[in-house]
Amino acid sequence: MKVCIIVEGCYPYVVGGVSSWVHSLIKQFPNVEFVIQTIAADRSIRGKFVYEMPDNVSEIREAYVQDVDWVGKKKHRKKLRLSKKNFSALQSLILNEDIDWKGVFDFFDKEKFSLNDLLMGKDFFLMAKALYEKRYANITFSDFLWSLRSMYLPLFFCLINPVPKADLYHCVATGYAGMMGSMAKLLYGSPLLISEHGIYSREREEDIIKATWVEGVYKNVWIEHFKKMSTCAYNHADCVTSLFEYAHKLQVELGCPEEKAIITPNGIDPKRFESIPGKQEGDNGYFNIGAVLRIAPIKDVKTLVNAFYYAKQREPSLRLWIMGPWEKEDTYAKEVFALVDSLKPQDLIFTGRIDVTQYLGRMDATILSSISEGQPLTILEGFAAKCPAIATNVGNCEGLIYGEGDDVLGHAGIVTDTMSVAGLADAMVQMARNPELSKQMGIIGYNRLMAKYQLSQMKETYYNLYRKMAEIKGCEWNETPYKREDRR
């Protein structure tokens, strides 16, 4: 079986979170040939992989939402004019009315043209004008037209990118990935599986509401654009997974047919943590708290640093380890380190990228300060090391820490509000001042992990899904391990 897994903005360029999940999934199915279709920002990231590819990955393809329009010199091209059929299909997309997705996908698959010619041409102008007169006539048309061009350029770059033929398309998001997967399904007749870790359209909506680069009614235009893409993916998918009950409900509210939607919790291998090194001599007298995260805005590391600064003044035994990578030239990372230089908190350690099995045994608790998450693997990894968790109330953090459904094991840590310096500081102090209670919460976390969140359980779920998709496609399911040298 050949699976094309389509990822956006994560694997194999960055570590952690969704990337770790994708890498683990591929390794769990050595009998499946995987082609990786990535969607990245631009060509500056080309080939900069931070994962060593497993033997069952036969190819990696890269698409970019900001790219060069590779269609020869303008003087050698004829003026682009759309057929009536192509115009009608594209206009249905722009107007978001009874969208002819097959017509849209056929156009980008069969026609050869310059995106610049399309977006700057008369036909797109007429489509934009129709939308403007129908819904946005109270704003400046020229600004509206340029906004539409900037909105559709990334999507069109994805749609002109040829997706390889496969027996199954597995998208790890809706959005641009879901659009490429939907197009591939209609072109090649293979089933489509979507696995959402966060709810893409809702996350984009939150980003746009907070954004300063888009204002006024244009926020609504962008929000509708992302919802339209997610709806396309939901409607074309054969199955849509989410990580927990609330995410499942959101998918259905946002238009995913309920009969397609299932819950598939994350899982880790607890055996990796059975013989990890424990406390070292230098840990005596400290209550070690570990934050396994990338230094990125979504992790809200600045709030974490501020919280630790104030918690340390109240509880001297605290020591914070921030364990994860950062880009040397990244603006946010520079801001984090500038904050550290300003506050000069004692016992704050940055390790860079690490093997968590070498550090979690030294921790008394883990902490996560994110403003957005799905079902964080770092909390589960902490549970595997019997560490309780402090986390903000995002994604499924509350469910992991306090339990949900028929889970009556108890609290495995403390949940705080997002962006709350006081909340995180209080939680760190409370943990450090009640070490026995913290140990009990760590054991509860371990028991919860073993009951519901093991990698073997996740593998069984996706094994059944992949087998089902193979049956839909009518292809053979072979248990023999695939290797790159066996590439078809």
Alpha helices per DSSP H over 160-244: 175-188, 200-210, 217-236
Residue-level pLDDT at 151: 96
Tokens of 130: 């129709």
The pLDDT tens digits of the residues spanning 237-256 come to: 999 999 999 999 999 999 99
Structural domain includes residue 440: yes
For residues 281 and 320, state if they share a domain: yes
| pLDDT band at 73; cut points 50, 70, 90 | low
For residues 191 and 244, state if they share a domain: yes
The pLDDT tens digits of the residues spanning 431-482 come to: 999 999 999 999 999 999 999 999 999 999 999 999 999 999 999 898 999 9
For residues 423 and 300, state if they share a domain: yes
Residue environment code for 282-320, b if the CB has 16+ CB neighbours within 10 A, otherwise e: eeeebbbbbbbbbbbbbbbbbbbbbbbbbbbeebeebbb
Structural domain includes residue 275: yes
Rounded mean pLDDT of the chain? 94
- The pTM of this model reads 0.90
Cis peptide before 435 (omega within 30 of 0): no
Separation CA 431–CA 9 (nearest Å): 35
Last residue of a domain, one of 263, 294, 310: 263
Separation CA 382–CA 387 (nearest Å): 5
The pLDDT tens digits of the residues spanning 126-179 come to: 999 999 999 999 999 999 999 999 999 999 999 999 899 999 999 999 999 999
Separation CA 443–CA 446 (nearest Å): 5
Task: Give the closest residue to 193 by CA, choosing from 466, 478, 473, 475.
Answer: 466
The type of residue at 382 is: G
For residues 314 and 431, state if they share a domain: yes
Q: What is the DSSP code (8-state) at residue 49?
A: -
> Among 69-78, 272-281, 397-406, which is the least confidently predicted range?
69-78
Residue-level pLDDT at 122: 95
Identify the domain containing residue 368 by its residue range. Answer: 270-452
Structural domain includes residue 482: no
Last residue of a domain, one of 263, 279, 301: 263
For residues 162 and 288, state if they share a domain: no
For residues 239 and 350, state if they share a domain: no
Task: Give the closest residue to 376 by CA, choosing from 22, 24, 19, 17.
Answer: 17
